[in-house]
C-alpha cells in the first residue's frame, strides 16, 4: 500500500475520479485529519466535513449554504455548454442539493498563457448568462495566468452561496424510495466521445447528444413542499448514479436495491455506452438529481416533479435495512436475479467536470 | 490592440501579474460586464464588484465577508511556508483587509497525476495547522487530479468566510496618511530567488531570507479601535506596494506621495533587489498591510500597531487632493525632487502566489 499516512508514492489519476480511490484518499488525507482539526478548533461551526458544501447557522434563523468546486473539464467547450456554464450550474446545483436557494457566486479563473482571448470571453459570457437566468449575482473573483505548458488551457473554481430554511442533510433512511429526476449519463457520454476523438463539438451536437448541464433550481419548490420527507439529494456527477448510491449505502449502512431497467437513460447514451462497454450508471450527469424520499410520499414527489419540468422523473428502487448487505448496491434483474453495482473505481473519464 | 471586445489574440503572462495589463483585462473582460450583469440581476446584493472579496449584509446586522483566491505559487514549497499555508493566510488576510473576523474556510485542491503523496500530505497538514492557529475551521472542499503534463504540480483555491461589524470599504481620502505595518517584499524576493535558481529552499532559508506569509488577524483589534478612521486596507501581494498605491490613487482620484526611504525593506531584500535591478516596491508581501488612515489618528494607529507585534509599522506618506496629478504615485526624494512610481506592468515574477 502506497498510501498515506507515511506519505509514500504519488497521486494517481484515479485518485481524482470520485470513485473508491478518491474516497480512500480523502478519508486518509482529509476526513480523519479534518475531524480532529474541527475538534481542536474553537468555535467550530459544528459541521460534518466530508463534502464540497457546508451549512452555517444564520443569526436570524435558517442556514447559509457555501460550496466550492474546481472545474477542469477537458475539452473546455462541448455540446451543451462550456467550462463556464458548467461551473456556474455545478455550484448552483451543489447549493440546491443542500436545500439552499442560490443567492450569490464568486469565481476564480486560472488560464494558460496563450489561451485564446475569444474563448475566455465566451466562457465569461456563458458564466454571466447562466447566472442571470437564475438571478444570481457574481460578487467577486480572482484571475491568474500560468506560463505556457504549466496548465492545460483553463480551470474555473466557483463558490456558491445560498440560504436554506430547511436544509437537506444527505442521510437516506431504510425504506426510502430512490427517485431519479431525469435521464442520467448525458454529460459523461458527451465528454467521453470528445476525449476519444469520436467527432468534434459540431458533429456530436448534430447527433442530438449533448451535455445535460443545467441549473436544478426548479427542484426547490418540490424540496420545500416535501420538506422533512426528502432525506438526501445529490447530483450524480463524477462517478455517476453508481457513485452516489454506493456512497449513500455506505454512509447510511443500508442496502440499495434498484431496478436497472427503470433508470432513465437516453437511447443515444445507451447505444454509445454499449459500444464502448461502459455502464451508463457510472457516467456523469450535470443536470439530474437523485433523491432519497420517504416511501409514503414518493409517488406524490414523482408526480410533482413531472408537473414541474421533469417528465422523466421516476422511482428506480429503494433503501433497505439489511444487516448482511449493508453498504451494498444491487440491481434486481427481471428473472429474480441480482447484480452488484460496484462503487466506481479507476479512470472512466478523466477531467469530466 | 489585441484586446477584447472582439475577442482576438491570446492571454499573455502579464495579464495575470496584477499590474496594468491585469487591470485592463479585468476591466474589459469582467468589470464592465459584471456591472451590467449586476444591474440586470434581480436581488443583486448591491456590491461594487472589482475585488476578490464581497460583503453581504447579514439579517442580524453586520456583514458576511466572502473571498475567493486561487494560488499557483511556483515552487509550492519555499522558505517560510508552502502553497497550503500561503493559501490559508492569503484568504484569512483578504477577510481581515475588509475588516472581517475569519470564521470558516473552504478549499479546492487540483494536483497533477504523479505529485508526491508526501508533499500533498505536508501541504494539507500546513493548511490545517495554519487554520488551527487562527481557530478557523475548514468546513468543506473539493479535490481533483489532472493527467500528467496538464498541470504543473498543484494549485490551491481557498474561500474565506468572515463576519464584519464595521467593514473597511477600500476608499482612501485626501489627507489620509499611508501606513505600512511591516517590511515589504520578502515573499516576492524569496520566490524570485527560487525561480532564478539562486539556491534551493534550504540554502535560501539559511541566508535568513524567508517569505513573510502570515495571518494578519492581530490587526483586527486595531481596526476595531480606529473604526471609521481607517479608510482602506490592503495586503500588497501581486504588484507589491507600488500596485496597491497606484490602484488606490486611481480609484480615489488622488495623488499619493511617499518618502521611499521610509518604506521598511529588509537589508537582505534590498541588496537582492539592487543586484537584480528590481524595485522592492514591486515585490509581493504576504504578511504586511498598507492602510489609509485619517491624519488625526495616524500616529496613534502606528503606536498601537507597534505595541501589538508590528514594531516596523510607520507612516510612509499621504494622499493629497491634486487635480493635476490625480491617479499618480510619486516618491519625494531627499533633495526636494520627485520620482513617479509607475503602476506595475509586465512580468516581474510569474506564479508569485
In order along chain A (353 residues), what is the average pLDDT of each group of 10 residues?
60 90 88 84 55 83 94 96 98 97 96 96 96 94 95 98 93 97 97 87 77 98 97 96 97 96 94 91 97 98 97 98 96 86 89 93
Estimate the share of chain B in helix, then strand, then coil, as percent rounded to the nearest 5: 35, 25, 40
Q: What is the pLDDT of residue B43?
A: 55
The Cα of A111 is separated from the nearest Cα of chain B by a number of Å equal to: 8
| Residue B157 and residue B97 share a domain | yes
Euclidean distance between CA atoms B267 and B264, whole angstroms: 9
| Residue B326 and residue B182 share a domain | yes
Q: Which positions ≥6 away from A333 have C-beta within 8 Å?
A: A260, A339
Taking one residue from A and the other from B, the number of pairs with CB-CB distance under 8 angstroms is 316
| Residue B335 and residue B216 share a domain | yes
Q: Do A52 and B140 touch (CB under 8 A)?
A: yes
**Do the domain assignments include residue B169?**
no
A246-267 burial, b at 16+ Cβ within 10 Å, e below that, comes to bbbbbebebbbbbebeebbbbe
| Residue B65 and residue B148 share a domain | yes
Which chain B residues are closer than 8 Å to A155 by Cβ?
110, 151, 155
| Residue B23 and residue B157 share a domain | no
Q: Which residues pair with B10 in a beta bridge?
A: A116
Euclidean distance between CA atoms A176 and A291, whole angstroms: 9
| Residue A185 and residue A127 share a domain | no
Q: What is the DSSP letter of A307?
A: H
Q: Which positions ≥6 away from B82 have C-beta within 8 Å?
A: B76, B122, B123, B126
Closest-CA residue of chain A to B41? A135
| Residue B209 and residue B104 share a domain | no
Q: Tens digits of per-residue pLDDT, A120-173?
A: 999 999 999 999 999 999 999 999 999 999 999 999 999 999 999 999 989 999
**Do the domain assignments include residue B326?**
yes
CATH number, domain containing residue A159: 3.30.1330.10
In a 3-state reduction of DSSP, which class is residue A147? coil
The Cα of A124 is separated from the nearest Cα of chain B by a number of Å equal to: 8
Q: What is the pLDDT of residue B2?
A: 40
CATH number, domain containing residue A272: 3.90.650.10
Rg (CA), chain A: 20
**Do the domain assignments include residue B123?**
yes
| Residue B332 and residue B184 share a domain | yes
Q: Do B16 and A44 touch (CB under 8 A)?
A: no
Q: Do A139 and B49 touch (CB under 8 A)?
A: yes
Euclidean distance between CA atoms B220 and B16, whole angstroms: 30
| Residue B84 and residue B190 share a domain | no
Q: Which domain-ending residue is among B164, B188, B205?
A: B164
Which grid coordinates belong to B144?
481533483
| Residue B252 and residue B156 share a domain | no
Number of domains in chain A: 2
The Cα of B13 is separated from the nearest Cα of chain A by a number of Å equal to: 5
Q: Which domain-ending residue is among A114, A135, A164?
A: A164
Which chain A residues are closer than 8 Å to B120 by Cβ?
4, 7, 11, 29
Q: Which positions ≥6 away from B275 have C-beta within 8 Å?
A: none
**Do the domain assignments include residue B299?**
yes
Q: Which domain-ending residue is among A119, A143, A164?
A: A164
Helix (H) or strand (E) holding A82: strand A81-82
**Do the domain assignments include residue A43?**
no
Give the ipTM of the model, two decimals please.
0.93
The minimal CB distance from B106 to the residues A68, A118, A139 is found for A68
| Residue A184 and residue A159 share a domain | no
**Do the domain assignments include residue A284?**
yes
Residue pLDDT tens, chain B, 353 long:
345 555 679 999 999 888 899 888 888 888 888 888 888 885 545 455 457 788 988 877 899 999 999 999 999 999 999 999 999 999 999 999 999 999 999 999 999 999 999 999 999 999 999 999 999 999 999 999 999 999 999 999 999 999 999 999 899 999 999 999 999 999 999 999 999 888 777 777 777 789 999 999 999 999 999 999 999 999 999 999 999 999 999 999 999 999 999 999 999 999 989 988 999 999 999 999 999 999 999 999 999 999 999 999 999 999 999 999 999 999 998 777 899 999 999 888 889 99
**Do the domain assignments include residue B256?**
yes
| Residue A216 and residue A135 share a domain | no
Which chain B residues are closer than 8 Å to A131 by Cβ?
37, 41
**Do the domain assignments include residue A245?**
yes
**B81-82 and A53-57: which strand pairing?**
unpaired
Domain span at residue A154 reads: 51-164
Which chain B residues are closer than 8 Å to A141 by Cβ?
30, 52, 68
CA distances from B320 to B290, B340, B344 (A): 17, 15, 21
Q: Do A111 and B58 touch (CB under 8 A)?
A: no
Amino acid at each position: 500500500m502506497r498510501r498515506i499516512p507515511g506519505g509514500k508514492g504519488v497521486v494517481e489519476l484515479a485518485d481524482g475520479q470520485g470513485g473508491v480511490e478518491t474516497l480512500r484518499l480523502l478519508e486518509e488525507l482529509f476526513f480523519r485529519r479534518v475531524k480532529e482539526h474541527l475538534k481542536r478548533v474553537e468555535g467550530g461551526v459544528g459541521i460534518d466535513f466530508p463534502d464540497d458544501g457546508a451549512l452555517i447557522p444564520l443569526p436570524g434563523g435558517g442556514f447559509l449554504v457555501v460550496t466550492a468546486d474546481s472545474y477542469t473539464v477537458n475539452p473546455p467547450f462541448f455540446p451543451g455548454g462550456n467550462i463556464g456554464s458548467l461551473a456556474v450550474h455545478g455550484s448552483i446545483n451543489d447549493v440546491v442539493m443542500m436545500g439552499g436557494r442560490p443567492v450569490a457566486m464568486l469565481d476564480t479563473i486560472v488560464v494558460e498563457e496563450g489561451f485564446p482571448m475569444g474563448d475566455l470571453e465566451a466562457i465569461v459570457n456563458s458564466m454571466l448568462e447562466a447566472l442571470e437566468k437564475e438571478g444570481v449575482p457574481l460578487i467577486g473573483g480572482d484571475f491568474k495566468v500560468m506560463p505556457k505548458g504549466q496548465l492545460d488551457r483553463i480551470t474555473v473554481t466557483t463558490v456558491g452561496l445560498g440560504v436554506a430554511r430547511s436544509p437537506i442533510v444527505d442521510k437516506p433512511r431504510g425504506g426510502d424510495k430512490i427517485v431519479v429526476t431525469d435521464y442520467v449519463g448525458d454529460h459523461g457520454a458527451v465528454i467521453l466521445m470528445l476525449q476519444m476523438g469520436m467527432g468534434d463539438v459540431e458533429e456530436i451536437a448534430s447527433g442530438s447528444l449533448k451535455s445535460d448541464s443545467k441549473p436544478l433550481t426548479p427542484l426547490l419548490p418540490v424540496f420545500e413542499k416535501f420538506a422533512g420527507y426528502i432525506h438526501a439529494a445529490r447530483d450524480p456527477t463524477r462517478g455517476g448514479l453508481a457513485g452516489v448510491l454506493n456512497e449513500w449505502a455506505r454512509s447510511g449502512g443500508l442496502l440499495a436495491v434498484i431496478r436497472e431497467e427503470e433508470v432513465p437513460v437516453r437511447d443515444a447514451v445507451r447505444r454509445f455506452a454499449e459500444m464502448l462497454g461502459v455502464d451508463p450508471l457510472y457516467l456523469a450527469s450535470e443536470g439530474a438529481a437523485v433523491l432519497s424520499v420517504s416511501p409514503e410520499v414518493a409517488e406524490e414527489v414523482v408526480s410533482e416533479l413531472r408537473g414541474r419540468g421533469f417528465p422523466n422523473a421516476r422511482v428506480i428502487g429503494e433503501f433497505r435495512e439489511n444487516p448482511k448487505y449493508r453498504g451494498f448496491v444491487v440491481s434486481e434483474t427481471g428473472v429474480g436475479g441480482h447484480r452488484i453495482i460496484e462503487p466506481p473505481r479507476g479512470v472512466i473519464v478523466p477531467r469530466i467536470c
